[in-house]
Amino acid sequence: MLNPNFEKLSSEYIFPIIERKLAKARQERPGEEVINLGVGDICLPLAPSIAKAISDGVLDMEKRSRGYGPAEGYPFLRELIAENEYSSFGIGADEIFLSDGTNSDASNIQDLFASGCCVAIPNPTYPVYRDASIIAGNEVIYLPCNLDSGFVPQPPKEKVDFVYLCTPNNPTGVAMTRPQLEKWVRWAQETKTFLIVDAVYSSFITSSDVPPSIYAIEGAKEVAIELKSFSKSAGFTGLRCGYAVLPKALLGGKLHALWQRRADAKSNGVSYPIQYGAAATFTPEGRKETRAQVTLYQEGGRILREGLKALGFEFFGGVDCPYIWWKNPVGYTSWEFFDKLLSECLILAIPGSGFGSEGEGYMRLSCFTTRAIAQETITRLGTIRCAI
Ligand code: PLP
pLDDT tens per residue across span 337-382: 999 999 999 999 999 999 999 999 999 999 999 999 999 999 999 9
Would you state the pLDDT for residue 372?
97
Substitution candidate for ligand 1 out of 14, 81, 170, 320 with most atoms within 8 A of CB: 170
- Alpha-carbon separation of residue 350 from 121, 163, 179, 295 (angstroms): 20, 25, 30, 23
Residue nearest to atom 12 of ligand 1 (CA): 102
- Cα 368 to ligand 1 centroid, rounded to whole Å: 13
Cut 0.75: pTM above it: yes
Would you state the pLDDT for residue 47?
98
- Cα 206 to ligand 1 centroid, rounded to whole Å: 19
237 lines ligand 1 (CB under 6 A): yes
- Cα 217 to ligand 1 centroid, rounded to whole Å: 23
Amino acid residing at 370 = T
Cα–Cα–Cα angle for 205, 203, 36, rounded to 5 degrees: 95
Contact 83, 57 (CB under 8 A): no
- β-bridge pairing 323-327 and 139-144: unpaired
Question: Which atom of ligand 1 has the smallest separation from the CA of 39?
Answer: 8
Give the integer Cα–Cα distance in Å for 69 and 73.
Answer: 7
For the chain, the distance separating the N- and C-terminal CA atoms, rounded to the nearest angstrom, is 52
- Cα 200 to ligand 1 centroid, rounded to whole Å: 6
Give the integer Cα–Cα distance in Å for 301 and 307.
Answer: 10
The CA radius of gyration of the chain, in Å to the nearest whole number, is 21
| Contacts of 141 by beta carbon, 8 Å cutoff, 6+ apart | 118, 119, 120, 121, 156, 158, 160
Would you state the pLDDT for residue 252?
96
171 lines ligand 1 (CB under 6 A): no
Substitution candidate for ligand 1 out of 97, 121, 126 with most atoms within 8 A of CB: 126
Enumerate residue ranges in the chain where pLDDT < 70. 11-12, 388
Strand partners, 98: 243
155 lines ligand 1 (CB under 6 A): no
Helix axis angle for 48-63 and 272-279, nearest 10°, is 140
334 lines ligand 1 (CB under 6 A): no
- Cα 196 to ligand 1 centroid, rounded to whole Å: 14
Would you state the pLDDT for residue 290?
98
Give the integer Cα–Cα distance in Å for 352 and 169.
Answer: 13
Give the integer Cα–Cα distance in Å for 220 and 69.
Answer: 30
Would you state the pLDDT for residue 94?
98
String of b and e for 165-185 (b: at least 16 CB within 10 Å)? bbbbbbbbbbbbbeebbbbbb
40 lines ligand 1 (CB under 6 A): yes
200 lines ligand 1 (CB under 6 A): yes
Would you state the pLDDT for residue 385?
79
Give the integer Cα–Cα distance in Å for 374 and 387.
Answer: 22
Give the integer Cα–Cα distance in Å for 153 and 146.
Answer: 8
108 lines ligand 1 (CB under 6 A): no
Long-range contacts of 381-387 (CB under 8 A, 24+ apart): 381/307, 381/308, 381/311, 381/313, 381/345, 381/347, 382/311, 383/344, 383/345, 384/340, 384/341, 384/344, 384/345, 385/344, 386/329, 386/330, 386/331, 386/332, 386/340, 387/329, 387/330, 387/331
Map 81-112 to HEC letters. HHHHHHHHHCCCHHHEEEECCHHHHHHHHHHH
Q: Is the dihedral of CA 195, 201, 202, 208 positive or negative?
A: negative
350 lines ligand 1 (CB under 6 A): no
97 lines ligand 1 (CB under 6 A): no
| Contacts of 379 by beta carbon, 8 Å cutoff, 6+ apart | none
Residue nearest to atom 5 of ligand 1 (CA): 170
Would you state the pLDDT for residue 61?
96
CB neighbours of residue 209 within 10 Å:
12
Give the integer Cα–Cα distance in Å for 300 and 254.
Answer: 43
Question: Which atom of ligand 1 has the smallest separation from the CA of 229?
Answer: 15
- Cα 227 to ligand 1 centroid, rounded to whole Å: 10
102 lines ligand 1 (CB under 6 A): yes
Would you state the pLDDT for residue 11?
66
198 lines ligand 1 (CB under 6 A): yes
Question: Which atom of ligand 1 has the smallest separation from the CA of 103?
Answer: 16
